[in-house]
Amino acid sequence: MPERLCALSELKESTPLRVELPQLDLAVVKVRDEIFAIEDLCSHAEYPLSDGDVQGCAIECELHGSRFDLRTGKPTGPPANQPVAVFETSVIDGVVYAELENN
């Protein structure tokens, strides 16, 4: 079952929204026509990625500057060297959902 994350109208362009779910917390980011959902936990020292900046399809951790690709969760800039989980999203009737169970 897809998990409801937020209303599409809550998302501002390239501005992470922290969504707290029972299983995990997500940073949800709208970049142009795409919506990304990445676990809200930097793999370097477990800091919330939703506090960081987004440039293009990259999110930068505010604490030590690691960068992650929002499409894959892979680190693209140090010090992090482990990926962060990403989840497929969909929008139905103005509501954003993520598929959590496939990951």
Q: 3-class secondary structure for 11-26? A: CCECCCEEEECCCCEE
Min dist CB 51 to ligand FES, Å, is: 10
Min dist CB 46 to ligand FES, Å, is: 7
* Between 67 and 99, CB nearer to ligand FES: 67
Alpha-carbon separation of residue 12 from 9, 22, 61, 62 (angstroms)? 8, 24, 18, 19
Quick check: 86 and 102 in contact, CB under 8 A?
Answer: no
* Between 27 and 80, CB nearer to ligand FES: 80
The β-bridge partners of 58 are: 55, 69
Which residues here bind ligand FES, judged by CB under 6 A?
A: 42, 44-45, 47, 61, 63-66, 79-80
Min dist CB 75 to ligand FES, Å, is: 9
